[in-house]
Amino acid sequence: VRIFGMVNSAPGFVQQPAIINGFSDLILELWGPEAGAHARSAVGMAELPFGMPVEIEGEVQIAD
């Protein structure tokens, strides 16, 4: 239901939402527009653990 994407970014880089779009597109392709619908945030970070370029955090709802 919610995705939070963190992008390892250099100063002045402002395209974080475009980077996280790829993850949103994947979720929608895997689960379709109804089950895959989600809210999303994308932010830039000066550094991420282990030098990762992107970190994604998600909340999902599992229906019976």
- Tens-place pLDDT, residues 12-50: 999 999 999 999 999 999 999 988 999 999 999 999 999
Domain assignment of residue 39, yes or no: yes
Residue-wise DSSP of 2-22: EEEEEEE--TT---HHHHHHH
Structure confidence at residue 61 (pLDDT)? 86
In terms of residue numbers, what domain contains 21? 7-46
pTM here?
A: 0.84
Which position has the token pair 């395209």?
15
Structure confidence at residue 49 (pLDDT)? 95
Structure confidence at residue 22 (pLDDT)? 93
Structure confidence at residue 58 (pLDDT)? 92
Q: Look at strands 39-45 and 54-59 and give their pairing.
A: unpaired
Structure confidence at residue 63 (pLDDT)? 78
What is the SS3 assignment for 46? coil
Domain assignment of residue 59, yes or no: no
* Tally of domains in the chain: 1
Which position has the token pair 């239901």?
1
Domain assignment of residue 26, yes or no: yes
Domain assignment of residue 33, yes or no: yes
